[in-house]
Amino acid sequence: MKLVLYYFFPQLLNLYGDRGNITVLKKRCEWRGIDLRVKEVNKVENLKLSDADLFFIGGGSDREQTICTNELVKIKSELKNAIDDGVSGLTICGGYQFLGSYYRTVTGEKLKGLNLLDLYTISEKKRLIGDVLVQSSQFGEVVGFENHGGRTYHDYETLGQVIKGTGNNEKDKQEGLIYKNLIGTYMHGPLLPKNERIADFLINAAVERKYGKSIAPLDDTLEKKARKRLWESKQ
């Protein structure tokens, strides 16, 4: 089996080791005999996403995020079609924020998002930094690290309830977003190494969509131990 992942702007949007998520997806496919081909996208000119099974957008500084968003807006309809068609997506921090209508900076400037989803972000001076523990009905215990000034607001299904840390904003006690097979989140760590169930959700959705099959489980003893250890120690 073969899958194709579009990795957008790997050089500009990798502020917190988030490329580790790609490493995890690649390996978890490899261990199942699935060939995951990662296509790094640095220019969107004439880009067609018709062969995309998964995509990833990471986070960068405000300046880099804006540069990338201005590029991505050129293939906005391709992205929208892909998401609505069930292509698996993982968007982290800035990647998540800019899916929405706007991002308001600390100085009040409104930066346009891709308007793919109904969400918006307001940035405040006090940054939200620290370990995050989330209780997810779909994924169980989810662990990560957040570092963002933006507070994001939306009404979609979330990754789960925040047990420790902040998450989307200081009111909701919820983290992230799930829409079809697209996940948006503030969680770094990176996210997937210790939350392999989310990685498998993305891979499985892609395999089902393309081949009508489900994926086999792997031995995740180590990941489970690591997550448990972190969950206990960071309470």
Catalytic site residue from 29, 68, 148, 188: 188
Q: How far apart are CA 56 and CA 145, in angstroms?
A: 18
- Could you confirm whether 68 is annotated as catalytic? no
What's the Cα-to-Cα distance from 169 to each of 4, 59, 113, 148, rounded to whole Å? Answer: 33, 17, 18, 10
Decide: 16 and 127 in contact? Cβ < 8 Å. Answer: no
**What's the CA angle centered on 4, arms 94 and 137, to 5 degrees?**
55
Residues 3, 12, 52, 87: which binds other proteins (CB under 8 A)?
Answer: 12
- Eight-class DSSP state of 178: E
From the list 20-28, 33-41, 101-109, 113-121, the region that binds other proteins by CB under 8 A is: 20-28
Handedness of CA 31, 192, 231, 162 (dihedral sign): negative
Binding letters toward other proteins, positions 70-99, x by CB under 8 A: ------------------------------
Residues 51, 110, 129, 138: which binds other proteins (CB under 8 A)?
Answer: 129
Binding letters toward other proteins, positions 180-199, x by CB under 8 A: --------xxx--xx-----
- The residue with tokens 């194709």 is 4
- In the complex, the residues that contact other proteins under the rule CB under 8 A are 11-12, 14-20, 23-24, 27, 61, 129-131, 145, 147, 188-190, 193-194, 222-223, 225-226, 229-230, 233
